[in-house]
C-alpha cells in the first residue's frame, strides 16, 4: 500500500480481489464484512461522506484479515482494534509523525482540517490515531471529543475530503454478465436495483 495518501480505498480493495458493495442504507448502518465461499466481501453505506466510507471499509477489512483470540478480547475491544488498523492504514506511523509532529499539548482545528483534506481521514480518527500513538494524553482526547460533540461535528464534520470513494466493480461485472447472457436482463436489473426498462436503456452495446 505504500505510505502515500490512498486515493481510493474501495478501488484498492477491489484491485486485491475484495468484492465491495456500496449500499443505500439507513444512517445506523456503517458497514459489514464476510465471506462468500472464499471470496472476501465488504459492504459500506453509500450515504456517508467519503472519509467515513474509507475508514469503514478498512475497519471491515481488518475483520477479514486479522485473527482475534475470543478468550482474550471482548467484542468492544475487537471493534476498537479494527478502528486502530483502519487509522494506521490511512496514515502509517511515519507519515502521521511527519504531519502531526511529536507529543502535543494542544492542537488547532485548522491543522486537523488540512490533514483530513490531504489524507481522507476524519478529524475524529486523526485524534484517535494521535491518542493511540501516545502523542496526546487521554484527558486531552476526552476534551477533544466533548468539544466535537458540543460543536455538533460528531456526524457531520465541517470540512470534506475531496476524493471520490465509490465502487464500480460490481456494476462492471453485472454489465458483463448481462451482455454475455450469464444472467437475464430482469435478474441483472434486480441486482442493480433498477427498473428493467431503466437498466435496458443503460445498456449501450459497442458497434
Summarize the confidence of residues 166-184 as an average pLDDT: 79
Res 139 pLDDT > 80:
yes
Contact between 1 and 12 under an 8 Å Cβ cutoff? The reply is: yes
pLDDT (0 to 100) of residue 86 = 97
pLDDT (0 to 100) of residue 101 = 92
pLDDT digits (tens, 9 = 90+) for 51-69: 999 999 999 999 999 999 9
Res 37 pLDDT > 90:
yes
pLDDT (0 to 100) of residue 76 = 95
pLDDT (0 to 100) of residue 19 = 93
Closest Cα partner for 121 from 159, 148, 147, 68?
A: 159
Contacts of 9 (CB under 8 A, 6+ apart): 53, 54, 57, 58, 90, 120, 165
| Residue bearing cell 434486480 | 190
pLDDT (0 to 100) of residue 5 = 85
Residue 19 in grid coordinates? 468484492
pLDDT (0 to 100) of residue 164 = 76
Q: How confident is the model at residue 132 (pLDDT cuts 50, 70, 90)?
A: very high
Q: How confident is the model at residue 207 (pLDDT cuts 50, 70, 90)?
A: low
DSSP 35-65: EETTEEEEEEETTS-HHHHHHHHHHHHHHHH
DSSP 141-170: HHHHHHHHHHTT-SSS-SS---S-----HH
Q: How confident is the model at residue 155 (pLDDT cuts 50, 70, 90)?
A: confident
pLDDT (0 to 100) of residue 179 = 83
Task: Order the strands of the 39-45 sheet from edge to edge.
Answer: 19-23, 39-45, 31-36
Q: How far apart are CA 122 and CA 126, in angstroms?
A: 6
Q: How far apart are CA 95 and CA 74, in angstroms?
A: 30
pLDDT (0 to 100) of residue 36 = 95
Helix, coil or strand: residue 186: helix
Domain ranges for the chain: 9-150, 169-202
Summarize the confidence of residues 38-51 as an average pLDDT: 94
pLDDT (0 to 100) of residue 205 = 66
Amino acid at each position: 500500500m505504500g505510505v502515500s495518501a490512498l486515493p481510493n480505498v474501495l478501488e484498492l480493495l477491489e484491485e486485491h480481489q475484495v468484492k465491495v458493495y456500496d449500499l443505500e442504507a439507513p444512517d445506523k448502518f456503517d458497514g459489514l464484512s464476510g465471506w462468500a465461499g472464499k471470496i472476501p466481501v465488504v459492504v459500506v453505506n453509500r450515504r456517508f461522506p467519503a472519509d467515513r466510507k474509507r475508514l469503514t471499509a478498512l475497519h471491515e477489512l481488518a475483520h477479514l484479515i486479522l485473527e482475534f483470540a475470543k478468550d482474550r478480547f471482548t467484542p468492544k475491544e475487537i471493534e476498537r482494534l479494527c478502528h486502530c488498523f483502519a487509522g494506521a492504514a490511512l496514515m502509517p506511523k511515519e507519515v502521521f509523525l511527519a504531519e502531526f509532529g511529536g507529543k502535543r499539548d494542544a492542537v488547532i482545528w485548522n491543522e486537523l482540517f488540512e490533514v483530513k483534506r490531504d489524507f481522507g481521514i476524519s478529524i475524529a480518527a486523526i485524534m484517535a490515531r494521535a491518542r493511540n500513538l501516545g502523542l496526546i494524553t487521554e484527558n486531552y482526547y476526552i476534551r477533544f471529543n466533548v468539544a466535537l460533540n458540543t460543536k455538533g461535528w460528531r456526524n457531520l464534520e465541517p470540512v470534506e475530503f475531496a476524493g471520490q470513494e465509490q465502487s464500480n466493480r460490481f456494476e462492471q461485472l453485472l454489465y458483463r454478465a448481462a451482455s454475455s447472457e450469464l444472467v437475464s436482463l430482469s435478474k441483472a436489473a434486480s441486482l442493480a436495483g433498477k427498473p428493467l426498462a431503466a437498466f435496458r436503456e443503460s445498456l449501450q452495446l459497442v458497434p
